[in-house]
Structure 1
Amino acid sequence: MPKTSHIYDHKVKFCIAGTIFYKIFTAKRSKQTSLTISSYELKEEPIFAPVQLPDLIGELSDLEELKIIGVNLTSLPTSIGKLTKLKTLHLHKNLLSDLPPSFGKLSNLEELDIKNNLFTNLPDPICKLPQLKRLNLSSNPLTGLPDNITKLQHLEELGLSMNVFQGNPPCGKKMPALEWIQLQDNKISSLKRLKNLCLEGHSISV
C-alpha cells in the first residue's frame, strides 16, 4: 500500500474514532435514550479501516435504542453489558464476528439486528437474552444454529436470508412464539409449518 494511502487511512480512522467518542460523550451528558452512529451520519470519506467502540458506551445507562451502522466495527467492549435498559440494538453492515460474554446481560433487549457482518456461528450470549423477540442474522456466513437457540422462548421473528444455512430452522414446540422466518438464498431442504415463511431462492419439494 502506498505510504500516502496509509497515512490517509490513519487520519480517517482517527477522525471517525473521535467523532464516535464525541457522540457517545454528548449522549451521556444529555442522558439520551436513543443514539445512532452511522457512516452516513459521520459524513466522512468511505470507511475502510476497522473501528472499535470505546468503553464509554457502557456509561449510557438510560439508553433504550442504539444503532451503529456501517462503520466497520470489529468488536464490542465488555461494558456493553451495562446497557440493561436497552430494548433495540442495530449493528448491521459492520465487521463483527463475535460478541463479548457480557452481551448476555442485556436482559431487556427485544430487537437485535446484526445482518451484514462476519458471524460464522451464533454467539452464545445471544441465546441468553430472555426478552428477545426479533433477531436478524441475514447476510452472514452462517451454516447453522446451535441447539440452545431454543432458549429464546419469546422470539417471534428470525431473519436468516443470504447465509449458507443448511440445517432445519428452529420451530415447533421448542420455540412456541416463533411465527416468522426469512430464509431466502440458503440451502434449506426441509421445513416445518410456520405462519409466515419467505423462501425465495430455494428448490424445495413438498
Structure 2
Amino acid sequence: MARRPLRTAATTLAALLAVGLLGGCSGDTPTETAPTSDGDGTAADTSAASPSPSFTPRDLSDSVLGATLPESRGSSDGTVDGASATLEVAEVRASATATLLTFWYSGGDAAPVRRGNANWETFPTLVDTDAGRVYEPLTYTDFEGTTRCLCTDVVRVGDPPQVRTAMYPALPEDLTEVRVRQDGFEEPIVLEVTRP
C-alpha cells in the first residue's frame, strides 16, 4: 500500500513536466516585443514597422502558360515504344562537371510512352565519333534499389510535345560536336556542343 502514493506522485510529476515542456516548446512567436531601456531607466518604444518583404510579387502566368518549345536544332524520324515519332533535339550543353541534353518526341499518334525514368537504357546516347566513346545518362539508385537516370520523365508522344532533359557525364573540353543516337531512330542527329 505504501507504493501507490509514490506511483501517483510520480505520475503527477511526469504530467506536470510534460505540460511545462509542451508549453515552453510551442514555437509561437510573441506578437509584441518587450520594451527596452534607452539608458536612463525609462522604456524605449520598439514598436517600429516590420521590414518590407525582400521580393515584389509578380504575375508570371503569361510567361508560364505561354511557354513555347525551344528551337529544334536537329531531328530524326523513327519509332518509340512502337509508335512513329520524331526525335527532336534542342541542345547539348556541356560544362566542366556534366552535360545536359534537351530533347522531345513529336508526331506519332500521341501514344503512351512506357520508357519512363527507370528505363534509362533506352534514352538517347551521346557519341564522340573521333574518340569512339558513347555517353549514357547519369544514374542513381533510389530507396527501393531501382537504378534511375538524372532526367525528366514523360508520359506521351505527340502534341503538345513534352520537353525532356537528361544529364550525362562531362564531355572532353576540346569536343565541339556529338552525335545524338537512340534505338528506333536510324539517323543520328549531329549537333554542336554549346558551353557556358
Q: In which range does the TM-score fall when normalised by the shorter chain?
A: under 0.3
Q: Which has the higher strand share?
A: 2
By relative contact order (CA 8 Å, sep 6+), the higher-ranking structure is 2
Determine which structure has more spread, i.e. the larger CA radius of gyration: 2
TM-score by length of 1: 0.22
More helix per residue: 1 or 2? 1
